[in-house]
Structure 1
């Protein structure tokens, strides 16, 4: 028993807790932005060393707007935008000032690297020249309605399963208490 306690005490001092280590300027916070537009769903991936507070997508302006707060002076972000959503020649604005980040593209995505200075609240606007390339807009009549009978049956099964589980646990607790007496 004493060796186990000794090992635990040694490990307590050797292994530092995660919250005890300061964050690096290059530590990445991953955000997945779900964009629903014209009947399609897209995912934009943002990895950054700042906190994303909100985002908007305007299909008429072909624009993604990112709102964020940063406590660091040197900000770094990598954004992956599906080419089906936005593509073409991009224009970037940081707090309404023109901005030129590094952009690399392939057939499926645009990979954007933002590197800028300035702590506090910031706004980045990404404007593409093309929207829904190769895709047609889906009208509301194309979307199939949910089968409410299937949903009811599925919830009913879980309700029955949960009730049976509660009864079994209650019986086990009663049996254990009787055995201890």
Structure 2
């Protein structure tokens, strides 16, 4: 009987908690898709704060990140494609000039942010080059195939006609299978 009392006490000491406090260095990964001039660029961030949204202004060559943090000490990394924004960067954090560490090569700019302040923050990045090595292009309009256009003119949707073809194909396969089974029995 004493063993049954000992097991729960032992389990309390052995079982570790499933949830614990997060470290200040825990990284949240965000992928921001910037669509501009017919291109889509991916900006990657890893930070101990949340990026709630962003704006991109191609005329001002500016990327604005809207940040929300529950921690006082904030640390983050941003990877910006050189084709999107490049050159010499200028940063503003809450409308005050900010000087993060920047490392660049011919493909990306790697920005390390380290700042204090919990709550909502706004980070603005200004570049000196935009679409470096690329030309602006118009959005390509995809043309529907003729059979889809004809079906839609008849009042059918593409899903309706596909459903009928799938049903007909299934019936043919089942019929062939049944006929083969009947012939094998004879």
Q: TM-score range, shorter-chain basis?
A: 0.7 to 0.9
Equivalent residues, number: 150
Aligned to 1:145: 142
Where 1:156 maps in the other structure, the secondary structure is: helix
Q: How does 1:38-53 map to 2 (within 5 A)?
A: 38-53=37-52
Where 1:21 maps in the other structure, the secondary structure is: coil
Q: How far off is 1:62 after superposition?
A: 0.4
Where 1:136 maps in the other structure, the secondary structure is: coil
> TM-score, structure 2 length as denominator?
0.72
Distance change >3 Å, CA 46–CA 12, structure 1 → 2: farther
> TM-score, structure 1 length as denominator?
0.74
Q: How far off is 1:10 after superposition?
A: 5.3
In 2, the alpha carbon distance for the partners of 1:14 and 1:35 equals: 46
Aligned to 1:82: 81
Larger Rg: 2
In 2, the alpha carbon distance for the partners of 1:89 and 1:124 equals: 16
Aligned to 1:55: 54
Distance change >3 Å, CA 147–CA 128, structure 1 → 2: same
Where 2:63 maps in the other structure, the secondary structure is: strand
Give RMSD over aligned pairs.
3.0
Structure 1: runs of 5+ lacking an equivalent: 1-5, 165-181
In 1, the alpha carbon distance for the partners of 2:144 and 2:87 equals: 39
Aligned to 1:168: none
Aligned to 1:14: 15
Q: How far off is 1:16 after superposition?
A: 3.1
